[in-house]
Chain A
Amino acid sequence: MSDTSESTDDAGEDAGGDDAPAHSDASVVDAEAVRHVAELARVRLADDEVGTFAAQFGDILDYFEALDEVPETEREEDLVNVMRPDEVQSGLTQEEALSNADETADGYFVGPKVS
């Protein structure tokens, strides 16, 4: 644990030193950045929502900046694979699987046009 605490303190000093302005610059989010990430996520936003989000994201990302102080930590996870025989089991019927779709045709989902 002592290693961890030391590196935290070091990182904390750095954050308060010369690096600090660079850190806060990194979290400035403008309307263009919000629009870009909304496009990646396939969420259309109204213009007023873009402005609100830009301001809120700035605050939230500023707060996330404190993660810079976290020391690199060994990730000792005891993960085990869970295996089972690949046997055929009953699942949803085609009708059940389609029952919540907005539009279907001949037993298939119908999606929007591709282009």
Chain B
Amino acid sequence: MATDYNAFITEATIDGADDGPLAGTTVAVKDNISTEGVRTTCGSEMLADYVPPYSATVVDRLTEAGATVVGKANMDEFGMGTTTETSAFGPTRNPADPERVPGGSSGGSAAAVAAGEADLALGSDTGGSVRCPAAFCGVVGIKPTYGLVSRYGLVAYANSLEQIGPIAGTVEEAAAALDVIAGPDPNDGTTRDLADVEGADPDASYAAAADGDVDGLTIGIPTELFEGADERVVETVEAAIADLEGRGAETTEISLPSVEHAVQAYYVIAMAEASSNLARFDGVRYGARADSDGNWNESFAETREEGFGAEVKRRILLGTYALSAGYHDKYYEKAQDARAWVRQDFKEAFADVDVIASPTMPVPPFELGESLDDPLRMYLADANTTPVNLANLPAISVPAGEADGLPVGLQFVGPKFDEETVIRAASAVEER
């Protein structure tokens, strides 16, 4: 029997249309993306029995395009983690090395694809949650520009940062899935119609952009995202970039000083938004409810004590703290300044380069249990992915090779709504 990686929380089938661009393909859907009639747990005890009465826009688009949903993928509870170990349904194992984590928070999605249990997967990326597991499992993951893909039906963690993105075995397959899920949705007012976006191509075909042609492409190499990374990871990524130079790409060193503050800004903003978003889980309209004799406030507090795991409580409490009187200006306002600075840094960099390349993760996959007791250590692993969410940009993680037998991901970041360029660059890495 094949190894059980615990990639799925629920195995259930939602049939796709008979024909369409994704006919015959199977897809794993992260368990924070609503599926009508199929329980959607967010990896939490709180929603262990929650069955959505409607499907997310992205799920409808996939099934209408012919894809069949085969299950709901395991994840860090409410997307809060970098290892998929904070799931209430047990950790997912990395198919590349079952003693190691698959990354997170969309670890089940990436593991399902890497293990061949699904052709495609959907994840959600708030601070790297699609790209990190793609890198750790040796598959491809795309974090779209904020506003390209509808979040309707995605259970919110940090609205201003997150996007749903595809994971697949190849760049072209991931891009083809993006072709299907991208586009405006009246149910998500933050989605954009590319016809209204200056410089964007409303007729973009992402799959067609996976042509491997990097001749004349200018790649920016930000020193800040290589410093401090594991030497084996850096060597693998640099070798892949050197190959692209051999195919006509030019590289140039750039500096993004603001990214030194990205992890701090990301966690303050994400925790603040989480503390507000997760206030809805009080056990009244949906979700588990504690057996309490107390009043309204006591009952809610007991429900939330029982329903949430430690990492979720940590983030709700820290977010509440960062927004509370006396600390709002010190943490939240400064984090918003840092966010604006990161955005400005990238904007200036893209005046000179077409894409920016770095390791996706500064470290190889952790061993199971290695980072669980040290949340700050886990947060620091998000150094290279969080700047992208703060700046609302598109990015992709593509396998660059292996270090000591473990997958290493290369991340390309592009200007807003220029998914085609990051896809093109990534497809060239794949063709090496």
- Measured CB to CB, the residues of A under 8 A from B are 1, 4-5, 8, 26, 33-34, 37-46, 49, 52-53, 56-57, 59-61, 63-64, 66-77, 82, 84, 92, 96-97, 99-103, 109-115
Contact = CB atoms under 8 A, between A and B. Distances in A.
B321 A37 contact: yes
B199 interface: no
Interface string B270-310: 00000100010011111111001011111111101100101
A68 to B, nearest CB: 7
Contacts of B297: 42
Interface string B333-359: 011111011001100100000000000
Given A44-B304, A114-B295, 17 more contacts: A1-B344, A4-B344, A5-B257, A38-B313, A57-B321, A60-B318, A63-B376, A64-B322, A67-B264, A67-B335, A68-B334, A73-B341, A84-B186, A97-B285, A100-B286, A100-B287, A112-B294
B41 to A, nearest CB: 12
Contacts, number: 161
Contacts of A71: 337, 341
A102 B282 CA distance: 11
B334 A109 contact: no
Interface residues of B, number: 64
B261 interface: yes
B417 interface: no
A104 to B, nearest CB: 10
Contacts of A26: 330
Nearest to A95: B53
B336 A60 contact: no
Nearest to A96: B53
Nearest to B312: A43
A74 B337 CA distance: 8
Given A42-B300, A101-B285, A56 B186 contact: no
Contact of A73 (B310, B331, B337, B348): B337
Chain B contact residues: over half helix, strand or loop, or mixed?
A: helix
Given A34-B317, A99-B51, A112 B292 contact: yes
B5 interface: no
B427 interface: no
Contacts of B171: none
Contact of A82 (B189, B304, B341): B189
A108 B344 CA distance: 49
A1 B294 CA distance: 56
Contact of A38 (B284, B287, B288, B317): B317
Contacts of A34: 317
Contacts of B337: 70-73, 75
B127 to A, nearest CB: 15
Contacts of B340: 73-77
A92 B379 contact: no
B295 A115 contact: yes
B375 interface: yes
Contacts of A112: 284, 292, 294-296, 298-300
Contacts of A39: 301
A97 B53 contact: yes
B265 interface: yes
Given A8-B257, A92-B54, A112-B299, A45 B341 contact: no
